[in-house]
Amino acid sequence: AALFTGDRAALTDSARAAAAQAGVDGFAELPRKFVISGHSAGGQLAAGASGYYYRFAPAAEKSDLVGVLLFDTSAAGGALAQALDELPATLPVLHIAAEPSFYDTYGDANDVLEAMRPGQFNGVRLIGGSHSDAFRSSTLGGLTQLLVSIGTGFSTPENVEADQVLASGWIADMFAGTVYG
């Protein structure tokens, strides 16, 4: 979480290195405003990092975090609940969930979001959704994607597209400040 505070030199250096490794030219600076996002256990990390960020960031920087987007994550371990205790109810924490399964501890993130933010829009559950809907990989000629899909379930093209469309739209809404109105 501390990487997102202050001058963010370490975070910027890391982003530059990733851009260079990916062959992206012209990387300048990271924007001040940001969304923290993660899939599965990465969603737990995203939630935890957002809570810690909000707890420790200087007051003038708290508004730089404009939202948290979770992809079929779990509430196991308590990171989501702890983050929601730290974050203002006006900061969007949205979840694109698959059908409840072992991989998302049977939908418990949805339960935590509803319990801690009752009556508030917290996201969607994709009908027939698979844990791998948000996971797309062409590594090793698609072998990684195949192995993940065998383990977690095969995604329908509609749910993969829904994940991408919802994420793009919600992130745009988070930056625009229009998720809740």
Residue 139: per-residue pLDDT = 87
**How far out from the chain centre does Cα 15 lie?**
18
Query: Which residues does 27 contact at the CB level (< 8 Å), separation at least 6?
Result: 15, 16, 19, 20
**Averaged confidence pLDDT in the chain:** 94
- The band of 82, judged by pLDDT with boundaries at 50, 70 and 90, is very high
Which pLDDT belongs to residue 28? 77
Give the DSSP letter string of 17-45: HHHHHTT--------S-EEEEEETHHHHH
Looking up tokens 């939908």 gives 107
Least confident of 25-29, 116-120, 127-131: 25-29
pLDDT in tens, 133-173: 998 888 889 898 889 888 888 899 999 999 999 999 999 99
| Residues 64, 32 contacting (CB under 8 angstroms) | yes
CA pair distance 170, 37, nearest whole angstrom: 11
Mean pLDDT of 32-53: 96
pTM, two decimals, is 0.92
